[in-house]
Amino acid sequence: MSGTTTEASVILRARGIRKSFKVGERRLEILHGIDLDLERGELLGLMGASGAGKTTLLNVLGLLDRPTEGEVFLTGHAAWTLSHTERSHLRNTKIGFVFQFYHLLPELSAIENAILPAMIALSGRAFRRERKHYTEKASEMLDAFGLGDRMGHKPGQLSGGEQQRVAIARALLLDPPILIADEPTGNLDRATGERMLELLLGLQAERQLSMLLVTHDERLASHCERVVYMEDGQIQADSRVPVPH
């Protein structure tokens, strides 16, 4: 896509992604062959109207949804040729997800939600050995996010902003190089959304995360160094803008 991209610096690469669904008798194609590279430490804003295929592309890139055609390369691995277990492990260790609706498990407390990726990554015995380490790590993050006194609370007892901060802590627990955020402020009021964005951008810069930020909010996109516009399942524009700091 962009000529300056070197092979070495690409962490997530999509080639020829097509995705179609069967609706009744006919096939409905959502993505019409998308090529996209995400570089290390890059903050990429993915914009487009509703129904442009942003979330579908995100799910394909996040190894959640198998493309009808094309391949996703994550740190050089053709992800959709791997086994279920290998792909799940890649998703577990390389990608952190932040969803619009937070998606916390309602039965688990904030801190338990935050250490869930470690519980998935580790066997029962290994987790028992490392539980203290991960609990400390998660509580440090939650503390830093201003949730120090709410770690034992269930998601139902937390506000939307608080839930989203727990979700961010969860996404970053295993220090994944990639963070995928699907309209992370979409369900929050304006002020909370602003603060959430600040937090996310701060973390991105601090940890040099490769971040894919899906939004239809122009203001949000203006923070991104690179913005990709999607329309009808195709990339319409790919522009680099100077980072406003």
Partner 1 sequence: MASTVRLTGPKLSGEEEERAVQETPSEPFAGETPQAEGEPLPPIPRGVQGAYRAFLSLRYLRARRTNWIGMAGIMVAVAALVLILSIMSGFLNESRKSLRGSLSDLIIQPLLEVPLDRQRGTMIPNDPALFLAIVRADPRVEAACTQLQWYGILTVPGRGYILRDVSSSGLALVHLVGIDPEAEYTTTDLRESLLREPMFPVGQVADVDDPFAPPPDYRPESRPLPSVILGNQLAAHWGVFRGDKVEIMTVTVDPRTGDVGEPSNQAYVVAGTFRSQNNEVDMSQVYFDRRELSDLLGDSTDFSAILVKLKDYERDKVAVVADLKRELIAAGLLHDDRFRDLGEIRTWEDFRKNLLRAIENEKALMGIMLSLVMVVAGFTVFAILSMMVTEKRRDIGILCALGATPRGILVLFLLIGFWEALFGATAGAILGIWSAIEIDPIERFLSDTFGFQIFNRDVYLFDHIPSVVEPAGVAMIVLGAFLCTLIFAAIPALKAARLDPIDALRYE
Q: Are strands 210-214 and 178-182 parallel, antiparallel or unpaired?
A: parallel
> Residue 44 in 3-state DSSP?
strand
User: Where do contacts with partner 1 occur on this chain (CB under 8 A)?
Assistant: 7-10, 13, 15, 59, 62, 64-65, 73, 75-78, 82, 84-86, 88-94, 97, 99, 101, 103-108, 116-128, 130, 133, 136-137, 140-141, 144-146, 170, 174-175, 177, 195, 198-203, 206-207
Minimum Å gap between C-beta 140 and partner 1 is 6
Q: Which is nearer to partner 1, 182 or 229 (CB)?
A: 182
User: How many Å apart are CA 77 and CA 24, to the nearest integer?
Assistant: 35
Q: Is 74 exposed, middle or buried (0-12, 13-18, 19+ CB in 10 A)?
A: buried
Give min distance, CB of 202 to partner 1, in A.
4
Nearer to partner 1, 48 or 117 (CB): 117
Q: Which is nearer to partner 1, 48 or 210 (CB)?
A: 210
- The amino acid at 207: R
Torsion-angle region of residue 111: left (phi > 0), alpha (psi -120 to 50) or beta?
alpha
- Between 2 and 239, whose beta carbon lies closer to partner 1? 2
Closest separation in Å from C-beta 188 to partner 1: 14
Amino acid at 106: P
Q: How far is the CB of 115 from partner 1 (least distance, A)?
A: 9
Strand bridging mode 178-182 / 95-98: parallel
